Amino acid sequence: MGGPVVLGIESSCDETGAGIVRDGELLAHVVASSMDEHARFGGVVPEIAARAHLEAFNPVVRAALERAGLRLGQIDAVAVTTGPGLSGALQVGLAGAKSLAYAAGVPLFGVHHLAGHVAADTLEHGPLPTPCVVLIVSGGHTSLLLVRDLVREPILHLGDTLDDAAGECFDKVARILGLPYPGGPAIDRAAREGDPRTVDFPRPLTRPGDDPYAFSFSGLKTAAARWAEKHRSRGAEVPVADGAAALQEAVADVLTRKALAACRAHDVRTLIVVGGVAANSRVRGLAEQRCADAGVELRVPPLTLCTDNGAMIAAVGDLLVRSGAEPAPLEVSIDPSAPLEYASLTPLPSDGGRTVAAGGRRLLVRPGV
């Protein structure tokens, strides 16, 4: 029979995802992306994203249930992203998840989006080692975390991005180089034909005295823009492939250098790299090389689980259910800018605070406290 079956819903940005997990095993997951609709604007348009979630929600959930060979009545819990993300997009996912939980008569769990990225690795490699260092790299987030028990203990931030995240840097520089949106995959493709040694881009916050775990990619973006403008100002063609390769090398160097430093400082033998930028070939390749040299185990989810998806939210829900955590109240809302403190995120609109669950206990965290 197995344990409880958890349906996960993700709608924080431009992907509508539904995943089904039981006892850490992925039974099915389906993603519908509205990326093509945003591409002509060079970035995600919140109103378009929200409308796309409305259109995709029911078909995606139905497809996930069909792939798992299940009916809604066989679901034991529903988990949904309640933050951070685009407000309208989150509202669509939460409203749909509430309807499903009510129709099935099962508990609902609010999940922090970034905790979902961390949990995605468990679907491929099993339970997280205790402790482990996690590097989250995506379009809006670059963070180094020390994780012990993902759903029972607070998550320790070793360092975060101070301005542009790694994925945001890729998107912005891709536009400067005339590459299509989304910029990450476009930079990766272009870099295959380039030589990273031809351009000496800076490695931000890697000098002695800098914060060893903080990230900043705004200056790197500016350096790439000035490099491209230098070529254009003298009427020369911009060597896009070389620029892409050099940019990718700089980002990968900074990310992996700081992640391995965190592993050494905290005597951790496992590094987990998650998020959309974890799909980048050079980030993966350099992480593999440096982890092997340092004797650190590297874990990276499959490409299909690196980008936003419902499976990762179901994975957190599965862990919450098995830990005995209390479900979200009926009035649970969203928090579009929620910091990652706990895997469970159940904002309440009435008190201006965030309610999170840890180890089955309920904790109210008020802004500024």
Tokens of 51: 């409308």
Give 187-232 pLDDT, tens digit per residue: 999 999 999 999 999 999 999 999 999 999 999 999 999 999 999 9
Tokens of 117: 């990225």
CA-nearest of 274, 271, 250 to 262 is 271
- The answer to whether residues 97 and 110 touch, using CB atoms and an 8 Å cutoff, is no
**Rg of the chain over CA atoms, in angstroms?**
20
pLDDT of residue 360: 41
Cα dihedral: 234, 236, 240, 241 (round 10): -130
| Alpha carbon distances (Å) from 49 to 37, 39, 46 | 9, 12, 5
- Specify the 3-state DSSP secondary structure of 138: coil
Taking the complete model, does pTM exceed 0.85, yes or no? yes
Q: Quick check: 157 pLDDT over 50? A: yes
pLDDT of residue 76: 98
Of the chain, the end-to-end C-alpha distance in Å amounts to 44
- Residue 161 is classified by DSSP as B
Give the pLDDT mean for 175-180: 96
Percentage of the residues of the chain whose pLDDT score is greater than 70 = 94
- Beta strand spans in the chain (E): 5-10, 15-22, 25-33, 77-83, 108-112, 132-137, 142-147, 156-160, 270-274, 297-299, 346-348, 353-358, 361-365
CA-nearest of 110, 65, 103, 109 to 85 is 110
207 Cβ neighbours under 8 A, 6+ residues apart: none
Burial level of 264, CB count in 10 A (0-12/13-18/19+)? Answer: exposed
Distance CA(311)–CA(278), nearest Å, equals 17
Distance CA(265)–CA(357), nearest Å, equals 29
- Residue 278 is classified by DSSP as G
Q: Dihedral sign, CA of 51, 57, 58, 63? A: positive
Q: To the nearest whole number, what is the mean pLDDT of the chain?
A: 93
Give 254-312 pLDDT, tens digit per residue: 999 999 999 999 999 999 999 999 999 999 999 999 999 999 999 999 999 999 999 99
Pairing of strands 25-33, 15-22: antiparallel
- Specify the 3-state DSSP secondary structure of 311: helix
Give 321-361 pLDDT, tens digit per residue: 999 999 999 899 999 999 999 999 999 986 555 555 544 44
- Residue 92 is classified by DSSP as H
Q: What is the DSSP string of 11-73?
A: -SSSEEEEEEEETTEEEEEEEEE-HHHHHTTTS--HHHHHHHHHHHHHHHHHHHHHHHT--GG
Give the largest Cα separation in the chain, rounded. Answer: 70
pLDDT of residue 367: 36
Classify each residue of 233-242 as buried b or exposed e, where b means 16 or more C-beta atoms within 10 Å of its C-beta.
eeeeebbbbb
pLDDT of residue 363: 44
Distance CA(276)–CA(141), nearest Å, equals 10
| Alpha carbon distances (Å) from 326 to 9, 86, 188, 313, 361 | 18, 26, 42, 16, 7
SS3 content of the chain, % helix, strand, coil (to 5): 45, 20, 35
29 Cβ neighbours under 8 A, 6+ residues apart: 17, 18, 19, 20, 64, 67, 304, 309, 310, 311, 314
Give 121-155 pLDDT, tens digit per residue: 999 999 999 999 999 998 889 999 999 999 999 99
Give the full edge-to-edge strand order of the sheet including 132-137. 156-160, 142-147, 132-137, 270-274, 297-299
Give 31-59 pLDDT, tens digit per residue: 998 877 877 777 788 889 999 999 999 99
Of the two residues 354 and 173, the one the predictor is more confident about is: 173
pLDDT of residue 170: 97
Give the pLDDT mean for 176-180: 96
